[in-house]
Amino acid sequence: MQQFDAVLVANRGEIAVRVVRTLRRLGLRSVAVHSDADRAARHVAEADEAVHLPGGYLDAGGVVEAARRTGAQAVHPGYGFLAENARFATACAEAGLVFIGPPAAAIDSMGDKIRAKATVSAAGVPVVPGRSDPGMSDEELREAALDVGLPVLLKPSAGGGGKGMRLVHDPAALPEQIASARREARSSFGDDALFVERFVATPRHVEVQVLADARGGVVHLGERECSLQRRHQKIVEEAPSPLLDDATRERIGAAAVEAARSVGYVGAGTVEFIVSADRPDEFFFMEMNTRLQVEHPVTELVISAGGRRGVDLVEQQVRIAEGAPLPWTQDELRLDGHAVEARVYAEDPARGFLPTGGRVLALREPADVRVDSGIRDGDEIGSDYDPMLAKVIAWAPTRDDALRRLDAALGDTAILGLHTNVGFLRALLGHPDVRAGRLDTGLVERELDALLDGPADEDVPVAAALERLLAAEPAGPVVDPWERPTGWRLGEPAWSRWRFATPDGETAVLLRGTAADAEVRIGEDTTRAAAESDGEVLTVTHRGRRRRYRYAHRDGTTWLSAGGRTWALREHRMLAEAADRAASSGGVLTSPMPGTVLVADAAVGQPVRSGQILFVVEAMKMEHAVTAPSDGVVTAVHVRKGQSVGLEQPLAALGTDEAG
């Protein structure tokens, strides 16, 4: 066996922080790498050493050189980036480094989904009916789809994450959908090979965690249910699956073990299956992820090994990479209780889940549950990488209690300074079908409208106005009446006016008195309210209701968070400049998200038509087109191709086409 002294973590964010935590517990020196954008990131601060990668996290040569320079004997790839890159695993071996993952041959075999299906099928693992001949032409794909029977899924042989996947119901749509799937697969993975699978109605996504040592030992650690997805991306995961009975659980686990054995697998991996909600005893192999999964914590929390609940899969990866045998047999592994995980993303559900960004002004993470997080107070969240910020994971003896604990933990989560999906997650966990375990991969899309937050109630702008009044009030007793934020006048006390803009519209709040005892007027309605603050929590009493908010204020915007929901209320005067521009020019085009301008097809004096694409902004692998709202002429252009832009940053101004 080889003993490591130092391990380089070739990743970023919450997974890098999580791997460093285990390395520290094992007494191993951790080496982080970072891009230009991540110089001040949390994973860099928590590692024992850090090396700058000018070429970013996909620079395989830079990672290998960093390991050499720091004396690391092994590289942990995390997930994403180079984690499933067979060439990188080979490069590590050639440099005398241990790749903490499977052999390059296993990565290569499972990375090609067509070859993977053939391999596991030969080992007796059930696969979805379809055709996966290598190199099928467009016509062969069309014929295969008709032979299998519509509806079918067109899937790329390379890559994952739902990119390049198309669901086809209509035979007439096949040529267009094949061409579209090929374009996206080629753009995303550099490989446009496709195959055809039968579409399974009401599908559920169930995956099995496996561990294998270099001596031929393979075990599974139970299954995870990952059916709550949006656009093929997982949102909430749990272990074990509420769908499977004990007999099916044993069969699907055995199938996962055989799939791993079929490619000589070593290390931690996940075998993914599709299961029909209508026929839960029938399952089909989808693919194998040759790495640690984002959702691995739920398995860690529910597995009892040798009579003790809880395992550390990263520790097992390190031990196996050092040459140690598996510490348990299959008979020694048991399921104990239930765990549920929710992924916290920097995205705004109210704006179509567009990625968000900004500075973390205040951060509150829940206690008494597990939180795997990659952020800290003061971090700048940009648009360079995946928008996942953290994962909140709860364990309990029963599924109902685990869901309740997770919901409460999300209600105690606050990330101020940017919008997140925490409120959406709470709504999803409270959905009756989720509570009952009636899951499938289409549930979120079907119920999306019901899961989105409604408009803020009037307590929120009242709280924002009281926070502003508190901030303006002098400390200690008032000696000079002109020190009062409302000034001084003869007769009755004066009103102070606060006007806030939100995505739901604009609200004016009038206050009279002090924050500790204020008269409040919204429209024609007059009430009383009181507020106090300890610097982090704002406690507001209004209409007999006492409510606590985490809060922060920056650049004219008051951020409030309560119960997992977050509101950003911009003071009206901050909108005056944009309003003046809009009035003089006929319209201001702004960026829908922080990101990079990929296309800037606008020039001063250029006539444009309504709906014409003028800009394309890209962030976190998502592109968004910005179009002209009406016919007109470009009167100003504020950005250029390749420029980074912030949320709602002006891109161009349009004026009326006087000649038209």
Please give the Cα distance from 388 to 373 (Å, whole number). 9
Q: Which residues are 347's β-sheet partners?
A: 355
Residue 306 confidence (pLDDT): 81
Rounded Cα distance between 257 and 220, Å, is: 6
Compute the distance between CA of residue 514 and CA of residue 533 in angstroms, rounded to an integer.
Answer: 13
Q: What pLDDT digit, counting tens, does each position of 528-570 carry?
A: 999 999 999 999 999 999 999 999 999 889 999 999 999 999 9
The structure's pTM equals 0.84
Instruction: Number of helices (H) and strands (E) in the chain: give both, helices first.
Output: 18, 42
Nearest to 481 by CA among 468, 464, 494: 494
Residue 146 backbone class (left: φ over 0; alpha: ψ -120 to 50; beta: rest) = alpha
d(CA 106, CA 124): 18
CATH of the domain spanning 460-572:
3.30.700.30
Which of 52, 59, 17 shows the shortest CA–CA distance to 36? 52
Which CATH superfamily includes the segment(s) 130-198? ATP-grasp fold, A domain (3.30.1490.20)
Q: Model confidence over 435-466: pLDDT tens digits? A: 999 999 999 999 999 999 888 899 999 999 99
Going through 103-187 in order, the beta strands assigned E by DSSP cover 130-131, 152-156, 166-168
Architecture of domain 6-100: 3-Layer(aba) Sandwich (3.40)
| Cα–Cα distance, 87 to 94 (Å, whole number) | 10
Q: Do domains 130-198 and 344-450 have the same CATH topology?
A: no
Model pLDDT, residue 317: 98
- CATH superfamily placement of domain 344-450: ATP-grasp fold, B domain (3.30.470.20)
In this prediction, residue 574 carries a pLDDT of 41
Q: Give the pLDDT of residue 583.
A: 38
CATH superfamily of 203-336: ATP-grasp fold, B domain (3.30.470.20)
- CB-CB contact of 387 with 347 (8 Å): yes
Helix locations, 150-309, DSSP H:
174-189, 246-262, 296-302
Q: Which residues contact 554 (CB under 8 A, 6 or more apart)?
A: 359, 361, 417
3-state SS class at 284: strand
Measured CA to CA, the distance from residue 111 to residue 288 in angstroms comes to: 8
Nearest CA to 124 out of 30, 292, 15, 259 is that of 259
Our CA dihedral for 121, 297, 80, 617, rounded to 10 degrees, sits at 120
Architecture in CATH of 586-655: Beta Barrel (2.40)
Phi-psi label, residue 129: left if phi above 0, alpha if psi -120 to 50, beta otherwise: beta
Residue 349: exposure state from Cβ atoms within 10 A (0-12, 13-18, ≥19): buried
Domain coordinates of the chain in residue numbers? 6-100, 130-198, 203-336, 344-450, 460-572, 586-655
Specify the pLDDT at position 659. 45
Calpha distance 583→585 (Å, rounded) = 6
Helix (H), strand (E) at residue 506:
strand 505-514
- Low-confidence residues of the chain: pLDDT under 70: 160-161, 475-492, 573-586, 620-621, 657-660
